[in-house]
Structure 1
Amino acid sequence: MTRPLTDVDIHRLESEKVSRNFGLDFKLLYPWDGMNAPFRGAWCVLRPGDLSEAHSHDQDEIVICMTGRGILLTEGEKIDMNAGDIVFLKAGNEHAMTNELTEDFSYYSIWWNQGMATDYLDAAE
């Protein structure tokens, strides 16, 4: 349950409300009513054996690794990611993620670009 937006608005993790998209379990975190931000975000879970779809986009992205371990596949490299790591992906970088272990790998993904910043500033006026 979400309270009306005041100075603090908490959206609780709702594991049962994820969708299967892009080869992983996914839940958009932003936007929600009453919030304006210059970014978008999602909570993502790679289940054991999952491989996300390879993609690139025109947004910079930060991946905040929350639980478990995963592998970032980018530019022919396999890079280990562990709970507590923060990974920056520059716009245009083609990437995918996989979970080769037996426990879930969960992370928050936050992405932004100049267009989102402009929309944010326009809405704030």
Structure 2
Amino acid sequence: MIDVRRLDRERLEPAYGLLGQRLLPWPALNAPFEGAWCVLRAGTGSTPHAHHEYEIFIAVSGAAEVVVGDERRPFVAGDVVRLPPGTPHQVVNDGPDDFEYYGVWWDAEMAASFVARHEAGPR
């Protein structure tokens, strides 16, 4: 059986200064993480923020920069960025094209919930 969760580009919602769709959690998938497809329009930047979760960004298309504190690094399709908990961060797209990436985040509570669901077995 193949189970597909579709991205709906017509229903992207604003969050953190960009557009996105949360594709995880997904009731059919018992995962210890959550995630969202993110679109950063040309000439914009996400809202600088920090949070308690671990997070990675996976660049899918286009080019942007990741800003952490005073450091700016190029972030292009195929790159993965790791952000430890509490790290203030922002993605900036100064280019002429949209930048798309997938964000995945997790914390100890998500991991513990995953283990409990896993041990309980299929529903």
Relative to the length of structure 2, the TM-score reads 0.91
Aligned partner of 2:28 among 13, 21, 34: 34
Q: Are 1:121 and 2:107 counterparts?
A: no
Aligned partner of 1:43 among 26, 37, 41: 37
Q: Distance in 1 between matches of 2:86 and 2:24?
A: 22
Specify the alignment match of 1:108 in structure 2.
Answer: 102
Q: Are 1:8 and 2:2 counterparts?
A: yes
Q: Distance in 1 between matches of 2:86 and 2:94?
A: 25
Q: Are 1:62 and 2:56 counterparts?
A: yes
Deviation at 1:32, TM superposition (A): 2.2
Deviation at 1:11, TM superposition (A): 1.3
Specify the alignment match of 2:76 in structure 1.
Answer: 82
Specify the alignment match of 1:72 in structure 2.
Answer: 66
- Identity of counterpart residues, as a percentage? 38
Q: What count of residue pairs does the alignment treat as equivalent?
A: 119
Q: Distance in 1 between matches of 2:75 and 2:33?
A: 23
The ranges of structure 1 where at least 4 consecutive aligned residues each deviate by more than 6 angstroms after the TM superposition are none
Unaligned runs of 5+ in 2: none
Q: Distance in 2 between matches of 1:64 and 1:115?
A: 23
The residue matched to 1:42 in structure 2 has which SS?
strand
